[in-house]
């Protein structure tokens, strides 16, 4: 049985994961409006990633004998100044999520809740991967633009078009 406080915090995290999907949906749409179908594809795959993060936590809360209580999801930002900006904001967001996950781990430790602490370990590793991935793309875009100007964005657009969704279960 997990504590009431932990259940509330996990519910909050489910909300943040779904918000992440919403944020990336906005970025996908912005990419499409710029004619960058590869960028759009990357963010559409990211939506699936985020929903899978939410679903994993949803299952954990439900299987713990508690109920998922859904809360409001605010509108994400709509405007981004450039393709680089999209990935700067992505990396910033992922760093924020990492801090939230780390805070949850701290709470689990304080409550001596080993089961939840173990459960969260998957998210700790996933966040390392998320930051590395977003940061890697950001560096690639910056370098491509530096070396090739606007053509650099097209090169990265082709690269991002190749991303496919791998369900997290399949990564283990």
| Contacting positions for ligand FEO (CB under 6 A) | 17, 20, 50, 53, 94, 97, 130
- Beta-carbon contacts of residue 161 (< 8 Å; ≥ 6 apart): 37, 38, 41
Nearer to ligand FEO, 50 or 145 (CB): 50
The CB-of-12 to ligand FEO minimum distance in angstroms stands at 13
The CB-of-91 to ligand FEO minimum distance in angstroms stands at 10
Nearer to ligand FEO, 5 or 96 (CB): 96
The CB-of-47 to ligand FEO minimum distance in angstroms stands at 10
Nearest residue to ligand FEO by CB is 53
Nearer to ligand FEO, 17 or 88 (CB): 17
Nearer to ligand FEO, 106 or 148 (CB): 106
The CB-of-124 to ligand FEO minimum distance in angstroms stands at 11
Q: Are 52 and 75 in contact (CB under 8 A)?
A: no
The CB-of-32 to ligand FEO minimum distance in angstroms stands at 20
Nearer to ligand FEO, 20 or 157 (CB): 20
Q: DSSP per residue over 106-140, as a string? A: HHHHHTT-HHHHHHHHHHHHHHHHHHHHHHHHHHH
For the record, the structure tokens of 170 come out as 């399949």
């Amino acid at each position: 049985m997990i504590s009431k406080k932990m259940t509330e915090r996990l519910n909050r995290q489910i909300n943040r994961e779904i918000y992440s999907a919403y944020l990336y949906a906005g970025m996908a749409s912005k990419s499409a409006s710029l004619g960058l179908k590869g960028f759009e594809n990357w963010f559409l795959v990211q939506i699936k990633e985020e929903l899978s993060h939410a679903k994993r936590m949803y299952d954990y809360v439900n299987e713990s004998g508690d109920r998922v209580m859904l809360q409001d999801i605010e509108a994400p930002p709509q405007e981004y100044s450039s393709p680089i900006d999209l990935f700067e904001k992505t990396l910033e967001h992922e760093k924020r999520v990492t801090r939230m996950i780390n805070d949850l781990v701290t709470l689990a430790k304080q409550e001596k809740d080993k089961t939840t602490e173990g459960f969260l370990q998957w998210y700790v590793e996933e966040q390392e991967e998320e930051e590395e991935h977003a940061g890697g793309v950001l560096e690639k875009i910056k370098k491509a633009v530096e070396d090739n100007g606007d053509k650099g964005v097209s090169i990265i657009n082709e690269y991002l078009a190749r991303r496919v969704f791998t369900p997290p279960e399949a990564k283990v």
